[in-house]
Amino acid sequence: MTTAGEEMYALVERLYPLCRSITGDGVRATLDIVGEYVPLQTHEVPTGTQVLDWTVPQEWNIRGAHIADSAGRRVVDFAASSLHVLGYSVPVSATLPLSELRAHLHTLPDHPAWVPYRTSYYKPEWGFCLAQETLDAMPDGEYEVRIDSTLADGHLTYAEHVVPGQVPDEVIVSSHVCHPSLANDNLAGIAVAVFLARALAERTPYYTYRFIFAPGTIGAITWLARNAARVERVKHGLVLACAGDPGRLTYKQSRRGDAEIDRVLRHVLAASERPHHITEFTPYGYDERQFCSPGFDLGVGSLSRTPYSGYPEYHTSADNLDFVSPEAMADTLSVCREAFAVLDRNRHYVNLSPYGEPQLGRRGLYDALGGRSDTKQAQLAMLWVLNLSDGEHALLDVAERSGLPFDTVAAAADALHGAGLIKA
Amino acid sequence: MTTAGEEMYALVERLYPLCRSITGDGVRATLDIVGEYVPLQTHEVPTGTQVLDWTVPQEWNIRGAHIADSAGRRVVDFAASSLHVLGYSVPVSATLPLSELRAHLHTLPDHPAWVPYRTSYYKPEWGFCLAQETLDAMPDGEYEVRIDSTLADGHLTYAEHVVPGQVPDEVIVSSHVCHPSLANDNLAGIAVAVFLARALAERTPYYTYRFIFAPGTIGAITWLARNAARVERVKHGLVLACAGDPGRLTYKQSRRGDAEIDRVLRHVLAASERPHHITEFTPYGYDERQFCSPGFDLGVGSLSRTPYSGYPEYHTSADNLDFVSPEAMADTLSVCREAFAVLDRNRHYVNLSPYGEPQLGRRGLYDALGGRSDTKQAQLAMLWVLNLSDGEHALLDVAERSGLPFDTVAAAADALHGAGLIKA
Amino acid sequence: MTTAGEEMYALVERLYPLCRSITGDGVRATLDIVGEYVPLQTHEVPTGTQVLDWTVPQEWNIRGAHIADSAGRRVVDFAASSLHVLGYSVPVSATLPLSELRAHLHTLPDHPAWVPYRTSYYKPEWGFCLAQETLDAMPDGEYEVRIDSTLADGHLTYAEHVVPGQVPDEVIVSSHVCHPSLANDNLAGIAVAVFLARALAERTPYYTYRFIFAPGTIGAITWLARNAARVERVKHGLVLACAGDPGRLTYKQSRRGDAEIDRVLRHVLAASERPHHITEFTPYGYDERQFCSPGFDLGVGSLSRTPYSGYPEYHTSADNLDFVSPEAMADTLSVCREAFAVLDRNRHYVNLSPYGEPQLGRRGLYDALGGRSDTKQAQLAMLWVLNLSDGEHALLDVAERSGLPFDTVAAAADALHGAGLIKA
Q: Quote the pLDDT of residue C153.
A: 98
Candidate from A118, A123, A289 with C-beta closest to C371: A118
Q: Quote the pLDDT of residue A367.
A: 82
B4-57+156-342 and B62-152 share one fold: no
Give A-chain residues touching B309 at CB under 8 angstroms: 373
Residue C163's DSSP bridge partners are C209
Q: Cβ neighbours of residue A418 under 8 Å, at least 6 residues apart? A: none
Distance CA C186, CA C307 (A): 12
CA distance C403 to chain A (A): 10
* Residue B233, burial from CB neighbour count under 10 angstroms (0-12, 13-18, 19+): middle
- Check whether B407 has a pLDDT greater than 80: yes
pLDDT by residue (tens digit) across A325-381?
999 999 999 999 999 999 999 999 999 999 999 999 999 998 878 877 666 899 999
Answer whether B120 sits within 8 Å of A370, measured CB to CB: yes
Considering only CB atoms, which residues of chain C are within 8 Å of chain B? 52-54, 87, 116-123, 125, 217, 220-221, 224-225, 255, 280, 282-284, 289-290, 292-297, 309, 314-315
Answer whether B356 sits within 8 Å of C224, measured CB to CB: yes
Q: Quote the pLDDT of residue A138.
A: 98
Candidate from A119, A120, A283 with C-beta closest to C387: A283
| C-alpha to C-alpha distances, B296 to A419, B25, B30, B212, nearest whole angstrom | 22, 31, 29, 17
Answer whether A383 sits within 8 Å of B283, measured CB to CB: yes
Answer whether B387 sits within 8 Å of C283, measured CB to CB: yes
Average pLDDT over residues C415-421: 97
For chain B, report the end-to-end CA distance as a whole number of angstroms. Answer: 41
Q: Phi and psi of A307, rounded to 5°? A: -75, 170
Candidate from B117, B119, B289 with C-beta closest to A357: B289
CA distance B363 to chain C (A): 11
List the chains bordering chain A where 3 or more Cβ pairs fall under 8 Å: B, C
Is there a contact between C411 and C380 (Cβ–Cβ < 8 Å)? no
CATH code of domain A348-423 = 1.10.10.10
CA distance B29 to chain A (A): 22
Answer whether A290 sits within 8 Å of C356, measured CB to CB: yes
Label the pairing between strands B234-240 and B170-176: parallel
Q: Quote the pLDDT of residue A117.
A: 98
Answer whether A369 sits within 8 Å of B120, measured CB to CB: yes
Residue C374: pLDDT band with limits 50, 70, 90: low
Half-sphere exposure of C343 (CA within 13 A, CB side): 30
Is there a contact between B149 and B284 (Cβ–Cβ < 8 Å)? no
Distance CA C300, CA C239 (A): 7
Smallest Cα–Cα separation from B57: which of B30, B24, B86, B18? B24
Q: How do the domains of chain C map onto residue ranges?
A: 4-57+155-345, 59-152, 348-423
Is there a contact between A415 and A379 (Cβ–Cβ < 8 Å)? no
Distance CA C144, CA C68 (A): 5
Higher pLDDT, residue A111 or C368: A111
DSSP string, C258-288: S-HHHHHHHHHHHHHT--EEEE---S-SSTH
Tell me the percentage of chain B whose pLDDT exceeds 70.
99
Distance CA C306, CA C324 (A): 11
Q: Cβ neighbours of residue A10 under 8 Å, at least 6 residues apart? A: none
Candidate from C54, C283, C295 with C-beta closest to B359: C54
- Check whether C203 has a pLDDT greater than 80: yes
- Check whether C375 has a pLDDT greater than 90: no
Residue C170's DSSP bridge partners are C208, C234
- Best mutation target among C348, C362, C369 (most A Cβ atoms within 10 Å) is C369
Q: Cβ neighbours of residue C222 under 8 Å, at least 6 residues apart? A: C45, C49, C51, C56, C156, C158, C214
Q: Phi and psi of A35, rounded to 5°? A: -65, -15
Q: What's domain C4-57+155-345's architecture?
A: 3-Layer(aba) Sandwich (3.40)
Smallest Cα–Cα separation from A293: which of A254, A262, A239, A342? A254
User: In C127-145, which positions are buried (b, 16+ CB within 10 angstroms) versus exposed (e)?
Assistant: bbbbbbebbeebeeeebeb
Give B-chain residues touching A368 at CB under 8 angstroms: 120, 122-123, 125
- Best mutation target among B348, B351, B355 (most C Cβ atoms within 10 Å) is B355
Answer whether C123 sits within 8 Å of B354, measured CB to CB: no
Between helix C189-200 and helix C326-345 the angle, nearest 10°, is 40
Q: Quote the pLDDT of residue B1.
A: 57
* φ/ψ bin of A74: left (φ > 0), alpha (ψ from -120 to 50), beta (otherwise): beta
- Check whether C373 has a pLDDT greater than 80: no
Give B-chain residues touching A372 at CB under 8 angstroms: 118, 315
Is there a contact between A336 and A238 (Cβ–Cβ < 8 Å)? yes
Mean pLDDT over the full length of chain C: 97
Q: How many CB pairs under 8 A join B and C?
A: 85
Answer whether C370 sits within 8 Å of A224, measured CB to CB: no
Give C-chain residues touching A121 at CB under 8 angstroms: 370
Mean pLDDT over the full length of chain B: 97
Is there a contact between C222 and C274 (Cβ–Cβ < 8 Å)? no
Considering only CB atoms, which residues of chain A are within 8 Å of chain B? 351, 353-359, 361-362, 368-373, 375, 380, 383-384, 386-390, 401-402
List the chains bordering chain B where 3 or more Cβ pairs fall under 8 Å: A, C
Reported CATH class of domain B4-57+156-342: alpha beta
Candidate from C353, C358, C371 with C-beta closest to A117: C371
- Best mutation target among A351, A373, A375 (most B Cβ atoms within 10 Å) is A373
Answer whether C221 sits within 8 Å of B369, measured CB to CB: no
pLDDT by residue (tens digit) across B114-159?
999 999 999 999 999 999 999 999 999 999 999 999 999 999 999 9
CA distance C290 to chain B (A): 4
Distance CA C186, CA C188 (A): 5
Domain A4-55+155-345 has CATH 3.40.630.10: yes
- Check whether B221 has a pLDDT greater than 60: yes
Answer whether B293 sits within 8 Å of A387, measured CB to CB: yes
Which residue does chain C place closest to B366, by CA atoms?
A: C122
Candidate from C122, C283, C315 with C-beta closest to B368: C122
Answer whether C353 sits within 8 Å of A122, measured CB to CB: no
For chain B, counts of helices (H) and of strands (E) = 13, 19
Is there a contact between A396 and A267 (Cβ–Cβ < 8 Å)? yes
Half-sphere exposure of B273 (CA within 13 A, CB side): 1
Residue C366: pLDDT band with limits 50, 70, 90: confident
CB neighbours of residue B252 within 10 Å: 24
pLDDT by residue (tens digit) across C291-350?
999 999 999 999 999 999 999 999 999 999 999 999 999 999 999 999 999 999 999 999
Answer whether A369 sits within 8 Å of B52, measured CB to CB: no
- Best mutation target among A53, A104, A280 (most C Cβ atoms within 10 Å) is A53
Considering only CB atoms, which residues of chain B are within 8 Å of chain A? 52-54, 87, 116-123, 125, 217, 220-221, 224-225, 255, 280, 282-284, 289-290, 292-297, 309, 314-315
Answer whether C357 sits within 8 Å of A53, measured CB to CB: yes
Answer whether C356 sits within 8 Å of A224, measured CB to CB: yes
Q: What's domain B62-152's architecture?
A: 3-Layer(bba) Sandwich (3.50)
Q: Quote the pLDDT of residue C1.
A: 57
Is there a contact between A23 and A215 (Cβ–Cβ < 8 Å)? yes
Between helix C4-15 and helix C189-200 the angle, nearest 10°, is 130
Which residue does chain B place closest to A350, by CA atoms?
A: B294
- Check whether A1 has a pLDDT greater than 70: no
Answer whether C368 sits within 8 Å of A123, measured CB to CB: yes
Answer whether B125 sits within 8 Å of A361, measured CB to CB: no
Q: Cβ neighbours of residue A322 under 8 Å, at least 6 residues apart? A: none
Distance CA C272, CA A405 (A): 46
Residue B372: pLDDT band with limits 50, 70, 90: confident
Q: Quote the pLDDT of residue C367.
A: 82
Average pLDDT over residues C63-82: 97
Tell me the percentage of chain A whose pLDDT exceeds 70.
99
- Check whether A208 has a pLDDT greater than 90: yes
Which residue does chain B place closest to C107, by CA atoms?
A: B372
DSSP string, C281-349: --S-SSTHHHHTSTTT--SEEEEESS-TT-STTTTBTTSSTTT--HHHHHHHHHHHHHHHHHHHH-PEE
Q: Quote the pLDDT of residue B371.
A: 78
Q: Quote the pLDDT of residue A376.
A: 87
Candidate from C371, C372, C375 with C-beta closest to A284: C375
Domain C59-152 has CATH 2.60.40.10: no
Query: What is the enclosing helix (H) or strand (E) of C407?
Result: helix C406-418
Which residue does chain B place closest to C285, by CA atoms?
A: B373
Answer whether B294 sits within 8 Å of A369, measured CB to CB: no
Query: What is the enclosing helix (H) or strand (E) of B327?
Result: helix B326-345
Distance CA B259, CA B268 (A): 14
Candidate from B371, B373, B390 with C-beta closest to C119: B371
Average pLDDT over residues B57-70: 98
State whether residue A203 is helix, strand or coil: coil
pLDDT by residue (tens digit) across A6-55?
999 999 999 999 999 999 999 999 999 999 999 999 999 999 999 999 99
Residue B367: pLDDT band with limits 50, 70, 90: confident
pLDDT by residue (tens digit) across C19-61?
999 999 999 999 999 999 999 999 999 999 999 999 999 999 9
pLDDT by residue (tens digit) across A171-195?
999 999 999 999 999 999 999 999 9
| C-alpha to C-alpha distances, A394 to A347, A414, B343, nearest whole angstrom | 5, 13, 33
* Residue B392, burial from CB neighbour count under 10 angstroms (0-12, 13-18, 19+): exposed
The ipTM (two decimal places) reads 0.94
Q: Cβ neighbours of residue B40 under 8 Å, at least 6 residues apart? A: B31, B34, B159, B160, B161, B213
- Best mutation target among A293, A309, A313 (most C Cβ atoms within 10 Å) is A293
Residue B369: pLDDT band with limits 50, 70, 90: confident
Is there a contact between A3 and A325 (Cβ–Cβ < 8 Å)? no
